[in-house]
Amino acid sequence: MCFWRLPKEEQVRYIRIKSVVIHAWHHLTHSVETWMDIFWFPMMQAFVFGGLALYFAKQGGESSAQVVVLGLLLWYGMEAGSYSIAVGALWEIWARNFSTLFVSPLTIGEFVVGHMIFGLFKQFTTVAILSLVAYMTFHFSIFSLGYSLPVHFVLLMVFGWAVGLIAFGLILRFGTKIQSMAWGLIYLIQPLIGVYYPVSILPPVIRNIANCLPATYVFSSAQNIIHTGMPRWDYLGIASVLDIVYFVFAYGFMKWAWEWARRAGTLARMEE
Amino acid sequence: MSNTVLEVTNLSKRYGPPAGGFVAVDNISFSMKEGEIVGLLGPNGAGKTTTIQMLLALTTPTIGTISYFGLDLHTHREEILTRINYVSAFSGMQSRVTVRENLEVFSGLYEVTDWKNKVRILAKTLGITQHLDNLYWHLSSGEKARVNLVKAFLNDPQLILMDEPTASLDPEIVSVVLDLVSDMRKRHNVAILYTSHNMGEVSRLCDRVIFLHHGTIIATDTPLGLSRRVGTAVLRLTFDGEQKPVFEYLKLRKHTYHSVSPHVVEIELDESVIPKVLFGLGKKQVWITDIEIDKPDLEDVFLAVAKGGAGALHTD
């Protein structure tokens, strides 16, 4: 449907979401810290893990090396989603702009959607740069994932959004004293989901927890491509269902925390 | 006939569990007409901030309703917030981006068309044109307050909530802001709910004052009416000649007075009877050489309530 044919209310909603995206873009263009988070640290990781991969390759572990480099690229695709929502909200709180935004007609849903959209841009940019580094330095092509490449990234992105929403919800509920959750929560998950190794090497108890996380299936499917040349569509199917469950739960949790903060009066004092 | 732009009915906010919880706002009701400037005053902890947070939908009331333009805030939040605005000396904008970029974003959120032109005009009025391309965090607190005011006027609001908008501004800019507020009311009939600790500003701007104390409204009146409730005026007269006729006249009229010096007397009396006293003394051939009138003002009301609570105000 054309934009101008949308009901007035939806057009306005679109304009407000667009404003959040523009706001995030303006912030990115001025914030050295954000550039460091998006590009510098991933690049450094790319060199460290790329070096490790080269070492593996020289030891005869060609496929292990590819698993490490692919894991790194996919990981940053997922992290961008989480980072965009949770750290995006924190930047507003630190600047005392959070309540100024929400005394305007902006809704929390529009704010989150705006940051999710901007997260896509960050994901694309980060992964594109890392892929270039991986290709030029370590001769690894991300396109070795074939036509299932976008599916893997989308599934990880959605899970990243869900983690970001939970981190944001926790900040709304407990305040900025737990702000490190904004960038730290996703790293609690990293060891479980087999980013750089197959989950089969994990102890059974941890493996059971890992099996409840959609990202585990996405990384396993990607690793399967390295080993067999084919994605695991059954795994991607399970990941899709789990993604929906996690996203719905995370959004519901964030909304509950938002309403809780409004009732408790802490939303207005978030910046103090 | 002017329309009601804001209607607050039986609004209460209780924080914490019901047993032993803290009541910040206790069953307040008031309304505002279009074009009206209303001061919301009270000592710290009176409930002003919580009331404003509820009026902005940042905090949910425990009970009670808030409606703007006949629409319930709970069910029509976005529609209402598009038509009102808020400014406070204590809120900020994104500090890492420029003033112009911040205002571009708020223009989008408030559905402002022709935002570039509007920003240009408002920035010129408030003297921040030269700062439009500076990062917000490079501005002084006074400059930030003026940028916040530009944001508050961007959407041609029908009602603006102003929470100490002039705190941290120098007197010259305060005067510009107060003139702008008066002008906005005159030209656009905008209603303003105004809080400030500067009673002079409140007296100058507000048609009506709502005085809060411990979460309840203890008085609603004009600034003048409110100041009359706090006590009597003091008339200080300097006169030539003897004291006797002066004191005889004041005794006869049952005025409270005391002699400051042989030719100066201070009389405590209601402001409205001052002309009568001056006329009466004139008729007694008292030659008055100097007159000073010390009238109670909002500052006295504020101090009286802070010290003595609601009982400090007389009821008419």
Mean pLDDT of B290-301: 83
Is pLDDT of A61 > 80?
A: no
Query: Distance, in angstroms, between A16 CA and closest chain B CA?
Result: 5
CA distances, A56 to each of A60, A61, A202, B172, B241 (Å)? 6, 5, 20, 71, 112
What is the mean pLDDT of the segment spanning A36-62?
82
Distance, in Å, from the CA atom of A103 to the CA atom of B86, rounded to the nearest integer, reads: 7
Q: Are residues B164 and B49 in the same domain?
A: yes
- Residue-range domain boundaries for chain A: 7-264
Regarding whether B255 and B168 lie in a shared domain, the answer is: no
Of B34-43, B99-108, B266-275, the least confident: B266-275
Determine, yes or no, domain membership for B300: no
- Buried/exposed B156-189: b ≥16 CB within 10 Å, e otherwise: ebbbbbbbbbbbbbeeebbebbbeebeebbeeee
pLDDT (0 to 100) of residue B86: 96
**Range list of β-strands (E), B171-228:** 191-195, 208-213, 216-221
Residue B107 lies in a domain: no
How confident is the model at residue A2, as a pLDDT? 63
What number of CA atoms fall less than 13 Å from residue A136's CA on the CB side?
9
Q: Among A55-64, A151-160, A216-225, B38-47, whose mean pLDDT is lowest?
A: A55-64
Q: What is the mean pLDDT of residues A222-245?
A: 95
CATH code of residue B248: 3.30.70.1150
Say whether both B63 and B171 belong to one domain.
yes
How far is B1 from A250, CA to CA, in rounded Å? 50
Q: Where are the beta strands (DSSP E) in chain A?
A: none
Pairing of strands B71-72, B287-294: unpaired
| Low-confidence winner among A121-125, B28-32, B223-227 (lowest mean pLDDT) | B223-227
Length of chain A: 272
B-chain CB neighbours of A97 within 8 Å are 91-95
A265–B contact, CB cutoff 8 A? yes
What is the C-alpha separation between A221 and B46, in angstroms, rounded? 61
Q: Mapping DSSP to helix (H, G, I), strand (E, B) and coil, where does residue B90 land? A: coil
Answer whether residue B284 is part of any domain: yes
| B76-100 pLDDT, tens digit each | 999 999 999 999 988 889 999 999 9
In this structure, are B217 and B249 located in the same domain? Answer: no
Residues in chain A with CB shorter than 8 Å from the CB of B105 are 19-20, 22-23, 26
Taking CA atoms, what residue in B is nearest to A27?
Answer: B97
Q: Do A100 and B60 touch (CB under 8 A)?
A: no
Amino acid at B141: S
How many structural domains are present in chain B? 2
CATH number for the domain including B33? 3.40.50.300
List the B159-163 sheet strands across, edge first.
B84-88, B159-163, B191-195, B37-41, B208-213, B216-221
What's the CA gap between B86 and B52, in Å, rounded? 9
| Prediction ipTM score | 0.88
Categorize the per-residue pLDDT at B310 as very low, low, confident or very high, splitting at 50, 70 and 90.
low
From the list A22, A91, A267, the residue facing B108 with the nearest CB is A22
Same domain as B84, residue B22:
yes
What digits encode the pLDDT tens for the residues A68-89?
888 999 998 899 889 999 999 9
Task: Tell me the range of A31-35, A92-96, B197-201 where mean pLDDT is highest.
Answer: A92-96
pTM of the entire predicted model: 0.86
pLDDT at B306: 72
Give me the pLDDT at residue B19, please.
Answer: 44
List the one residue out of B57, B61, B129, B138 whose CA is nearest residue B97.
B138
Site from B55, B59, B113 to mutate, A interface, most A CB atoms within 10 angstroms: B59
Give the rounded distance of the alpha carbon of A172 from its chain centre.
19
- B223 and B270 together in one domain: no
Q: Are residues B69 and B166 in the same domain?
A: yes
Residue span of the structural domain in which B180 resides: 4-91+156-227
> Comparing A23-32, A161-170, B23-32, B307-316, which segment has the lowest mean pLDDT?
B307-316
B239 and B218 belong to one structural domain = no
Query: Residue B20: pLDDT above 60?
Result: no
Cβ distance A260 to A270 under 8 Å? Answer: no
Q: Per-residue confidence at A242, pLDDT binned at 50, 70, 90?
A: very high
